[in-house]
């Protein structure tokens, strides 16, 4: 009788222990599922808010221009550090926010010229040409483009147009390595005269 009670008591204790184990295990699983679900919902809401934020910005031209300026300035800092890939990425973002941002076209073409990606440099210069065909730095960068490709005659014509449209950086004219081929040309002296006449 005592042995039977002892056995039953052990069995009851064992069953209680097993039950407690499954209760705790179930609780832990449910809590983990709850945490995971909360994380998913939180992430979804965050993405939704970001999307709504972007939509709002796209409807606000001033906000878009500010974002364009921000990325343009970031690109300029990276360009100074010769981090051309990141500079290009920022100029693209600037143009995403403001497709008429003329200086971004100039500087992205400069970055592409620096990495000898000539086709891409020309692509962005041609886009700028369709926006503002008289931008002096458009023609100056075209001069650099032609000079680097050894197309001296076309480079000289582009440099002449840059000067006629108001290009006035004498230091660049004297020292920019991108137009070294043009400086070797006999016609370069005539362009220097034109430069002096334009900027008396």
77-104: b (≥16 Cβ within 10 Å) or e: ebbeeeebeebbbbbebbbebbeebebb
Residue 122 lies in a domain: no
Is the pLDDT at 4 greater than 80? The verdict is no
Nearest Cα to Cα of residue 122 among 113, 130, 114: 113
Mean pLDDT, rounded, for 119-138: 98
pTM as predicted? 0.70
Residue 145 lies in a domain: yes
Is the pLDDT at 154 greater than 90? The verdict is yes
Total of domains in the chain:
3
Predicted pLDDT at 103? 97
Looking at the fold, whether 34 and 81 belong to one and the same domain comes out as no
Range of the domain at 93: 60-115
Mean pLDDT, rounded, for 117-143: 98
Q: Which of 16-30, 107-121, 172-186 has the lowest mean pLDDT?
A: 16-30
């Amino acid at each position: 009788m005592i042995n039977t009670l002892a056995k039953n008591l052990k069995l009851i204790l064992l069953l209680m222990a097993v039950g407690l184990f499954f209760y705790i295990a179930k609780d832990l699983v449910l809590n983990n599922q709850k945490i995971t679900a909360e994380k998913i919902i939180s992430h979804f809401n965050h993405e939704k808010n970001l999307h709504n934020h972007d939509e709002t910005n796209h409807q606000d031209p001033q906000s878009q221009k500010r974002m364009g300026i921000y990325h343009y300035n970031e690109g300029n800092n990276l360009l100074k550090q010769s981090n051309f890939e990141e500079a290009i990425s920022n100029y693209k973002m600037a143009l995403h926010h403001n497709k008429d941002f003329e200086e971004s076209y100039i500087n992205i073409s400069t970055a592409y010229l620096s990495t000898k990606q000539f086709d891409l440099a020309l692509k962005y210069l041609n886009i700028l040409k369709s926006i503002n065909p008289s931008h002096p730095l458009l023609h100056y960068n075209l001069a650099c483009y032609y000079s680097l490709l050894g197309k001296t005659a076309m480079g000289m014509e582009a440099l002449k147009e840059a000067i006629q449209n108001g290009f006035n950086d004498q230091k660049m004219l004297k020292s920019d390595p991108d137009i070294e081929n043009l400086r070797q040309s006999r016609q370069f002296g005539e362009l220097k005269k034109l430069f002096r006449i334009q900027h008396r």
